[in-house]
Amino acid sequence: MKKFIETLKNIWHIEDLRNRLLITLAFAAMYRFGSFIVLPGINPEALTALREQTNTGLMSLLNMFSGGAFSNASIFALGIMPYISASIVIQLFAFVVPYFQKMQREGESGRRKMNQYTRWLTMAILLVQAPSYLVNLKMQAQGAINPNIDQTMFFIASTVILAAGSMFILWIGERITDKGIGNGVSLIIMLGIIARLPQAFSQEIVSRLNNALGGGLVMLLIELVLLFAVILAAIMLVQGVRKVPVQYAKRMVAGQQVGGVRQYIPLKVFAANVMPIIFAQAIMFIPITLLGLVANGGQAASPVLMALSDHTSWAYNIVFALLIIAFTYFYTAITLNPVQMAEDMKRNNGFIPGIRPGKDTADFIDKIMDRITLPGSLFLAVIACMPAFAGLLNVKPEFAQFFGGTSLLILVGVVLDTLQQIESHLLMRHYDGLLSSGRIRGRSGISSRY
């Protein structure tokens, strides 16, 4: 406790760090306040059906990432996820489309152009998602929309408000990145996830303590131990690094090799980060969309479609896990280029001991990545399916979402990255770090954007 208080005092004494933290807290409060501002023309007391729809199933994930704004019919209902989807598409274009590949090599000017394209694509996605959200709102909570207002104007105005709300959230995230501490977009997502935790945890406690069969307290302790173990596993997954030794040759003026310096290439066990889960979940949203279309058409849904729409079913989790494994290999392949790494080493007079430069080096790095990607992908698939395993222990769905998947990995990654930035500010001013032994390691070395 003494060390903690001392660290807080040190943080407060550093004016730049103090201002950054206060700015971050102010923007975070602004985001959370906006999550409770309901769309004009909506009666918040008539949204019971919408809240019930977002309590379970895949819709609960959308509500979690928006911090409850989705079920509140808030101006921030669509959250930051349209921007995430757009940025993923642009990232993929940067690897497969020559025009975007050229733009990526242009440095800062190219990055600004790609950011602009990402914003335009975000607006296009919003113009599709906003009307879809309003149609679902009308179906689930027919009495919530004021019948005395013009429905066409309501849809047009609400679409503009929802799109503007998401773009305002993006603006908040960028201001946090520039003026505050941590990655703004990641912090926005984390705030949305964490906002649901107190209510979900309190509901779980009440449910266990009211268990008529007894043993509720024991089961609650088992859940907390299991959650702690999963968090530790997620930390290991985020920080796991495999080092490949590289010898950089020192040469005399005449070019004669006289020695070398041993360094390492840090290869992540999980180089793809949370992207495979995001891709897989995007595909797994297709069955629930088809199920809604079938239900609107008055037709009976097939058992396969029903199973793939239930995130607690075996069919859903098997397909989900296979997609995660496949996307882990895919995203690792487009993120790390062994040929480029081998060329860079050769250009800098570097080589892996016992491996010939050039193609042999590229093949060696590729083989190492295949070996460490397989256990990483399996580990990631298990963590992503943990909410379903938690459901087998009768954990309430709202609390089960915190046992794995994108939510847990994002929470762990963002917390580590933010603490790492705070520690860097402390060390720069010659203060002690946050830990008494060693330094905090975040997701450095790979994209820590989400």
Point out the least confidently predicted range of 38-42, 337-341, 356-360: 337-341
Picking from 118, 115, 139, 113, the residue whose alpha carbon sits closest to that of residue 59 is: 139
* CA distances (Å), origin 338, targets 264, 333, 334, 335, 344: 15, 9, 10, 10, 10
Cβ(133)–Cβ(77) under 8 Å? yes
Over residues 109-132, the mean pLDDT reads 88
Over residues 253-259, the mean pLDDT reads 41
Give me the sheet containing 241-251, strands edge to edge: 257-268, 241-251, 350-351
Q: Which structural domains are found in the chain, ordered by start?
A: 224-403 (1.10.3370.10)
On the question of pLDDT at 7 being above 90, the answer is no
Over residues 382-410, the mean pLDDT reads 76
Higher pLDDT, 181 or 336: 181
On the question of pLDDT at 16 being above 80, the answer is yes
Q: How confident is the model at residue 447 (pLDDT cuts 50, 70, 90)?
A: very low
* DSSP-derived secondary structure letter, 39: P
Q: What pLDDT was estimated at residue 438?
A: 55
Higher pLDDT, 385 or 268: 385
Cβ(251)–Cβ(245) under 8 Å? no
User: Could you tell me whether strands 350-351 and 257-268 are parallel, antiparallel, or unpaired per DSSP bridges?
Assistant: unpaired
Higher pLDDT, 158 or 241: 158
Q: State which H helix or E strand residue 344 sits in.
A: helix 338-347
Cβ(162)–Cβ(77) under 8 Å? yes
Average pLDDT, the chain: 77
Point out the least confidently predicted range of 62-66, 99-103, 144-148: 62-66
Q: What pLDDT was estimated at residue 56?
A: 62
On the question of pLDDT at 426 being above 60, the answer is yes
Q: What pLDDT was estimated at residue 266?
A: 65
On the question of pLDDT at 1 being above 70, the answer is no
Q: What is the rounded distance in angstroms from the CA atom of residue 86 to the CA atom of residue 125? A: 8
3-class state of residue 73 by DSSP:
coil
Q: What is the rounded distance in angstroms from the CA atom of residue 361 to the CA atom of residue 442? A: 28
Q: What is the rounded distance in angstroms from the CA atom of residue 418 to the CA atom of residue 304? A: 43
Q: What pLDDT was estimated at residue 25?
A: 92
On the question of pLDDT at 450 being above 80, the answer is no
On the question of pLDDT at 189 being above 90, the answer is no
Q: What pLDDT was estimated at residue 277?
A: 77
On the question of pLDDT at 299 being above 60, the answer is no
Amino acid at 273: N
Higher pLDDT, 53 or 340: 340
Q: Give the pLDDT confidence of 156-172 residue by residue, as tens digits.
A: 999 999 999 999 999 99
Q: Give the pLDDT confidence of 358-389 residue by residue, as tens digits.
A: 888 888 888 888 888 888 888 888 888 888 77
Q: How confident is the model at residue 100 (pLDDT cuts 50, 70, 90)?
A: confident
